[in-house]
Structure 1
């Protein structure tokens, strides 16, 4: 009897030990499962919250919020650069980018703004090279600091030399050639090229390109683009002194209406033509005040610059194969005006 009870006691203790081990194992499994579920739920919640924030910001990607800076040679009041910024900001919103913009039409000051961007440790840099000699040291420093650089609008020839990933814009010489061809097609014999910024290589290339293809005579006049009364009086004086001028070519959209006023005051019959496009130019094409315009699609320049920097940061992608990514030139006339007006009014053309 005693031996039987002892056997039962040993059996009960063994059973209880097995039961405790089984319960412990089940508890451990339960805790692990709970922990995993909790981690999964937390991670999922964080991802969901991030997706909601991105959607609220208009972002289409789930990448880090990099900071890109754009530094241009824009002068005060030049609406062309508003269109470039509109494109850049649209791409920045889509790509979850913090976008910074600064500008100066003085080469040394523009270089200082590039240095400021370097000091901020930006993740990408977009610059114009209208005055490449003044910008060379600063851009080279950015590249050496490991900041990917894209050049836009001006400086296609110097872009690769300074280590930029690519250049986005139109070839200014090719654009000038297109204007020369258009003037020939319109039967023009004597054109005046209006340069609104001293030392801007892009503007010089435009006039040189016109001259290379134009069969007639091409004169140049330099004006202070920040002083519209000066621009008008200089053009007016040229038209009054030489009635044979039958075409005035301005090198920026804001100067076309001023040239039209100068024409009227001088009593000239010259046609007014221009590089670049905005809402007023499109309207003037439609009503015949202007003959034609050269569209280089500035919105696209800003948009693609930001987007290509994002692609490089995300996937080391580049475009162009070492050659510029061209956004122009495109000659637009009265026939195109209606289609363009809506886009220019919203600031995208």
Structure 2
């Protein structure tokens, strides 16, 4: 999933592109069953012709399965809006590697750069350097602290502290006292540390006699699972196991199943929709997970870049909160019954039919 998108987009995506090129947007949308009357520019298309802008996505864990749907969102928006994109950064959340990739994007004269600002200060100067060079910069998935020196144009992602706080409220609803483990892949990094802070604050505010222990698990799924197993084996009297990142949440769910912890009165929960996590919620081994919608973290970032570039900066980017949605055993069914790009379980572009009232 990098510069050459055509091989990965599949036959359906190539067909769609061919229709758009051969028949024009209005005619193509009619053939595809979509809107037939888009607003037209003077040249006869929805937007005037423009160069194929390049947006570089610098990421902190480039191979993490959480970001598979995010990359599909990038692909789809890039294809729709005429962008070339690059996916680069670090595999192991190494900030130095991310800075090197960011500087390479500046040197390569990208039109826009998107980066999870996982360190409170390290990205301040590179972002300023890019903006001074006329390159639009957006943060996604993680953002700099409010009021700081980072000058990115907008943040596209979840309200991380609030999501953690609401997880903490769920914890105190389920547990009155005892040991609760909070697992975090990379402590201090701004994509997940605010969640841990929020959960800890909510537990503390409750006044309950809950002993919170924080455990660092690492940046890869296998490492996370190993650390979680090890902690449980040394603390089998615990009352809860919760995680603030996708890999650790999957690990918690697996350990909960392997040791049948719900039957022992242990509760668990976490973040994101890795397929194993979703399945184990369905089986009753995890109380909940929180969906932050990674697909739109990629898609909306490209849209923000497009509007900013196409308007010459007249339309200023705005922060976009990509949501906080609790998924439980009673609401997990749709995630099990569909395999789509939107959740990273299929490469196939598709429209997913929906029935029933909105919000059900």
Is the pair's TM-score, using the shorter chain for normalization, greater than 0.5? yes
> Are the counterparts in 1 of residues 124 and 151 from structure 2 also a CA contact under 8 Å?
no
Instruction: Using structure 2 for the length normalisation, give the TM-score.
Output: 0.74
Find out whether 1:135 has 2:131 as its counterpart: no
> Are the counterparts in 1 of residues 252 and 268 from structure 2 also a CA contact under 8 Å?
yes
The structure with the greater share of residues assigned to helix is: 1
Secondary structure of the residue that 1:162 maps to in structure 2?
A: coil
Q: Distance in 1 between matches of 2:260 and 2:284?
A: 17
Distance 1:139 1:306, change over 3 A: same
Root-mean-square deviation (CA), in Å? 2.7
Distance 1:257 1:162, change over 3 A: closer
1:272 maps to which residue? 268
Q: Distance in 2 between matches of 1:139 and 1:102?
A: 16
Q: Distance in 1 between matches of 2:109 and 2:147?
A: 21
Secondary structure of the residue that 1:289 maps to in structure 2?
A: coil
How far the C-alpha of 1:278 sits from its partner, in A, is 2.7
- Which residues in structure 2 correspond to 1:155-174 (within 5 Å)? 155-157=143-145, 161-174=149-162
Find out whether 1:296 has 2:292 as its counterpart: yes
* 2:315 corresponds to which of 294, 314, 317: 317
Q: Distance in 1 between matches of 2:69 and 2:242?
A: 21
Distance 1:159 1:143, change over 3 A: farther
Find out whether 1:79 has 2:79 as its counterpart: no
Q: Note the alpha carbon deviations across 1:209-253, whole angstroms, 9 max, x for none.
A: 00111233321011223261x433432332233334222112222
* 2:142 corresponds to which of 143, 150, 154: 154
> Are the counterparts in 2 of residues 191 and 219 from structure 1 also a CA contact under 8 Å?
yes
- Which residues in structure 2 correspond to 1:1-349 (within 5 Å)? 51-52=21-22, 61-64=47-50, 65-76=52-63, 78-104=64-90, 105-157=93-145, 161-187=149-175, 189=177, 190-214=179-203, 215=206, 216-226=210-220, 228=222, 230-264=223-257, 268=261, 269=264, 270-315=266-311, 316-320=314-318, 324-342=319-337, 345-349=339-343
Q: Note the alpha carbon deviations across 1:267-309, whole angstroms, 9 max, x for none.
A: 6432231111133222222221221001111111111000011
How far the C-alpha of 1:160 sits from its partner, in A, is 7.2
Secondary structure of the residue that 2:145 maps to in structure 1?
A: helix
Secondary structure of the residue that 2:215 maps to in structure 1?
A: strand
How many residues align structurally?
Answer: 294
Moved more, 272-281 or 90-99: 272-281
Instruction: Using structure 1 for the length normalisation, give the TM-score.
Output: 0.76
Secondary structure of the residue that 2:138 maps to in structure 1?
A: strand
Moved more, 119-128 or 267-276: 267-276
Q: Name structure 1 gaps, 5 residues minimum.
A: 1-48
How far the C-alpha of 1:202 sits from its partner, in A, is 2.9
Q: Name structure 2 gaps, 5 residues minimum.
A: 1-18, 33-44, 344-360
Distance 1:188 1:99, change over 3 A: farther
> Are the counterparts in 2 of residues 319 and 325 from structure 1 also a CA contact under 8 Å?
no
Distance 1:60 1:93, change over 3 A: farther
Larger Rg: 1
